[in-house]
Chain A
Amino acid sequence: MTGTKLIMTFPVTATSHLLSEYRARGGYATLEKALRQMRPDEITKAVTASGILGHGGAAFPAGRKWGVIKLNDGQPHYLCANADEGEPGTFKDRWILENAPHLLLESMLISAYALQVRNAFVYIRGEFDLPYRRLAAAVEEAYEAGYFGERILGTDFSCDIVIYRGAGSYVCGEASALITSIEGRKGYPRNRPPRLTVRGLYQRPTVINNIETLANVAIIVARGAEEFRKVGTAKSPGTQLVSISGHVEKPGVYEVEYGSSLSEFIYSECGGVLGGGKLKCIVPGGISTKVLTAAEIGSLKFDHVSMVAAGSQVGSGGMVVIAEGTCMVRLLQVLLRFYHHESCGQCTPCREGMGWMHRIIDRIVAGQGQPGDIDQLIRISKANDGTTICGMGDAAGYATVGILAKYRDEFEYFVEHKRSRHEGRLEVAGHA
């Protein structure tokens, strides 16, 4: 229904994540092909030609990131897989880590070969338990099978991998905070310049890619860039894993080809709103992306260009379905509590602004809102736009401004009447 599948191509069983089954599906053949038949720069060229955009949320072209790394520049390079999937509503990388860890490892090996990386890292979210155990077991299996270590598959290429578990910080999913955390320091993001591909982990050129982006590398190399581009749209090649949750009949992880119809995905494939309710809006790709109302979804296509044109983003693919009757004030309160809790506290606008917004929304929800509070929220959001070290301040601002732009009347109602327009707990019919 939602087009070609690239990653979720096999039925998930109790053993489908194991090396034996991955090999039976043709796994690690691409690694052989890459190591024996391709030069490193050919792989980078293929990734660039595939036009794949980063799947972590920012949609930065992966090939352009890789292109900054100069091979044979006489210094070590590092590769980090960003498995610190913390954007609320997002759990798609978790599917890969749990069900296709070897796809990730094979892709990382190919990427490491392409970027001349001797030591690769996986920074995995501390709260991920099963994903960590699955990945750690997969690494063990891969080492035993000779896919990691010295002289892999009898070639000159050697690579080791370290899994680094985070300690529970959202900001550590930001690339520079991630490497700072790997270095053993407090996960504070770093100022650019220098870019991480120039000076990253341990002050060396470092490529940090999202799990899903990396997982696609083996697929791109196996298929060839041209074949890969046949999936998706011209500007958004490939597929997107979407983790859908909230008031939806069939929550879970789905693979959606770029260019698919968004409403078809939500209403048909995911079964629509829970209990046959009416859709109010969706958070399209992680809470930092702006909400889209039911009307805006209309005939919208799910790809980067269309989503940006509609005033939002594909983001991290963490879709949250919000049914009619949901109080947007209390929803924003949840978001702002999250941002306040997760602000690393390094730079001024975010450190002070997140707490400030949280206190204002708490006050509104407590029935102590005052005229001007809503404008204050917008003002603080704008003062965070582009003024912080990392993107978190901006993200919180986008989420706030996005909701306020579309549901300002609900906030004004709350401030004026000291109560929500949608009182009480939302009951969704037909479900216990």
Chain B
Amino acid sequence: MLEFFINGQSVQAEDNQTVMQAAKANGFYIPYFCWHPQLSVPGNCRICMVEVEAEGGGWLDIACNMPVTKGMRVLTDSEKVRTRRKETLQFITLNHPVDCGICDKAGECTLQDYHFEYNGSPSVSRDAKVHATKHYPLSERIVLDNERCIMCTRCVRFTREISKTNSLGVQNRADHSLIRPVEDGRFENDPYSDNVIDICPVGALLSRQFLHKARVWYLKPTPSVCPGCERGCSVNIWHRKTEWKLNALDARQNACIDRVTPLENPAVNGPWICNKGRDLALIFERARAEQAMHKGKPIDLRPAIANARALIAGAKRPVALVSSWGSNEELAAFQAALGERFACYVKTDWLPAPGEVLEDGLLIKSDKNPNGAAARARFPALPADARSAFPPDTDLVLIWGEGFSFAQLPSKAKIVYLNSYLQPENGHADVFLPISVQTERRGHYTNFQGTVSAFEACFAKKDGIADAEALFAALAAPAGKASS
């Protein structure tokens, strides 16, 4: 540890820290575009210029690349520093279109914030701006607006240092410089490509899914956990704020996932998530089962629960297949209410999709279920040959969650099926009970490392859909005491 001074205040720093790191650790803010705590230091944006006081003058240099030395006196807000910042921002906005009004990044744009905070004056240029490609198709997922790009090269460094696909680079020189993908299309196959959208300090890299979908200030991030694999990355699920509810247009827009971004969690995923995590809408917004059924015929939820309870109460040899997508709370409720009554096995709800990355050194894990480890800590896993789990005299099977073919069930067994999505099997069950999905409830998942992460409810569940946690107690309750 060594002592140095920021704006006259004594500050402690590690020996090999830069001024930027030490300032950040001690609560001093120095603006930056190109610097990123997880990436190398290119020092190209020049906005983090600070002044070092020294005898006989002193000098200005970039904080991100300046090692702290003992007794060093740094000024982050001197007159000289403010002038430099202003000049740098004038340079950066020189050829930037300043089209915040139609830019998806507006509201969370670093350039916008800094311009407001450190510059505030209109352009001092009289000359036409340099034009560049407006909608460059970087990949199926991302479009690039080269005019908005400020050449911080965070995206380039991300593909070199984090996702390691080396799929982006810089073409041309001077103010004609362009971010471009390498020619063999590797960027298309980068499973982490969407992170460049988040780390882009301006609106140059745009998600096609989110393009012009909503202004970010109408949206609310709800902390959640990605169920895409057993890593359980912390994410923010963005959805419309209730106070900005849309009354016209499609009402479904008020209860849909607008986008998913990483929620920084050093214990699990750092600041990144993979592209699958961005596509949670593809999982949660499939057609939902909203109607309880008795042998394929719609009935109300309450009598359906009573029917299921009666089947469970009457069964002699019941087997339960437990979901690996259940939250810790649901698993505990299941075990407490029905764990004794059933022979329980944990089933694998989701198998890797064809072409999906199975596992890599960064985040992606091969078990594509969020809570398999926690479920298997309570119950044994379903054997590879599922039929061996069912004794010949099995008379009732409770199936919780999707991903199990009814063809593997003993033919005489009755079926109680709990599922969230509209699937053909639903109608083949003796009792079908629709249950809520992750975005409609709160709970916790335990990932493969044993780290527990919480998720919150984004939307209210519809009437007629049960919450599994409460449902299990109702299914176990003696006849007559049931409640849904």
Contacts and interface: CB of A to CB of B under 8 A. Distances in A.
B84 A387 contact: yes
B173 A344 contact: yes
Contacts of A341: 173-174
Given A191-B65, A352-B94, A359 B127 contact: yes
B173 A348 contact: no
B62 interface: yes
A370 B91 contact: no
Interface in B22-61: 41-47, 49, 59-60
Contacts of A386: 59-60
Contacts of A360: 127
Contacts of B481: none
Contact of B88 (A186, A346, A348, A356): A348
Interface of B: 41-47, 49, 59-60, 62, 65, 67, 84, 87-88, 90-92, 94-95, 124-128, 130, 150-151, 169-170, 172-177
Interface string A166-199: 0001000000000000000010000101000000
Interface residues of A, number: 32
Contact of A347 (B43, B125, B126): B43
Contact of A387 (B49, B90, B174): B49
A352 B176 CA distance: 10
A343 interface: yes
A345 interface: yes
B87 A383 contact: yes
Given A345-B176, A348-B46, A363 B151 contact: no
16 contacts: A186-B169, A186-B170, A343-B175, A345-B170, A345-B173, A345-B174, A345-B175, A348-B47, A349-B88, A349-B91, A350-B174, A352-B91, A352-B94, A352-B95, A354-B174, A383-B84
A297 interface: no
B23 to A, nearest CB: 18
Contacts of A186: 169-170
Interface string A332-354: 00000000111111111111111
A402 B373 CA distance: 71
Contact of A342 (B94, B127, B173, B177): B173
Given A341-B174, A360-B127, A348 B65 contact: no
A351 B177 contact: yes
Given A186-B170, A355-B95, 19 more contacts: A191-B42, A343-B174, A345-B170, A345-B176, A348-B92, A349-B87, A352-B92, A355-B174, A356-B94, A356-B125, A360-B127, A370-B126, A379-B124, A383-B84, A383-B90, A383-B91, A386-B60, A387-B60, A388-B46
A-B interface, 7 closest residue pairs, ranked by CB to CB distance from nearest: A345-B177, A343-B174, A355-B175, A352-B91, A191-B43, A383-B87, A359-B127
Nearest to A360: B127
A8 interface: no
A224 B357 CA distance: 67
Given A360-B127, A376-B124, A351 B45 contact: no
Given A191-B41, A356-B127, A387 B172 contact: no
A347 B46 contact: yes
In this complex, the member of A349, A351, A360 whose beta carbon has the largest number of chain B beta carbons within 10 angstroms is: A351
Contacts of A342: 173-174
Given A347-B43, A349-B46, A383-B87, A340 B174 contact: yes
Contacts of B172: 345
Contacts of A351: 91, 151, 174-175, 177
Contact of A343 (B42, B43, B124, B173): B173
In this complex, the member of B49, B87, B95 whose beta carbon has the largest number of chain A beta carbons within 10 angstroms is: B87
A376 B43 CA distance: 26
Nearest to A192: B65
A360 B44 CA distance: 24
Nearest to B175: A355
Contacts of B47: 348
B247 to A, nearest CB: 45
A389 interface: yes
Interface in A349-390: 349-356, 359-360, 363, 370, 376, 379, 383, 386-389
A205 to B, nearest CB: 18
B226 to A, nearest CB: 35
B45 A347 contact: yes
A372 to B, nearest CB: 8
Nearest to B47: A348
Nearest to B60: A386
A348 B84 contact: no
A354 B175 CA distance: 8
B130 A355 contact: yes
Interface in A194-250: none
A349 B49 CA distance: 12
A217 B201 CA distance: 49
Interface string A265-307: 0000000000000000000000000000000000000000000
Contacts of B126: 370
Nearest to B176: A345
Contacts of B151: 345-346, 348, 351
A386 B46 CA distance: 11
A347 B64 CA distance: 14
A345 B150 CA distance: 10
Given A356-B94, A387-B60, A388-B46, A363 B127 contact: yes
A370 B125 CA distance: 12
Contacts of B90: 383
B62 A344 contact: no
Contacts of B44: 346-348, 389
A404 B150 CA distance: 30
A387 B46 contact: yes
Contacts of B41: 191
Nearest to A363: B127
Nearest to B88: A348
Contacts of A387: 46, 49, 60, 84, 87-88
Contacts of A344: 173-174
A352 B84 CA distance: 15
A74 to B, nearest CB: 21
A348 B175 contact: no
In this complex, the member of A346, A352, A356, A387 whose beta carbon has the largest number of chain B beta carbons within 10 angstroms is: A352
Given A355-B175, A363-B127, A370-B126, A348 B45 contact: yes
Contacts of A379: 124
Nearest to B172: A345
A352 B170 CA distance: 16
A346 B42 contact: yes
A368 to B, nearest CB: 10
A348 B60 contact: no
A349 B124 CA distance: 15
Contacts of A370: 126
Nearest to A356: B94
A22 B445 CA distance: 78
Contact of B91 (A169, A193, A353, A376): A353
Contacts of A191: 41-43, 62, 65
A354 B130 CA distance: 12
A360 B127 CA distance: 7
B173 to A, nearest CB: 5
Contacts of A356: 91, 94, 125, 127
Contacts of A376: 124
B152 to A, nearest CB: 9
B183 to A, nearest CB: 15
A24 B311 CA distance: 109
A363 B94 CA distance: 17
Contacts of B94: 352, 356
A125 B450 CA distance: 58
A388 B46 CA distance: 7
A360 B124 CA distance: 12
B78 to A, nearest CB: 15
B46 A193 contact: no
Contacts of B125: 356
In this complex, the member of B47, B60, B94, B174 whose beta carbon has the largest number of chain A beta carbons within 10 angstroms is: B174
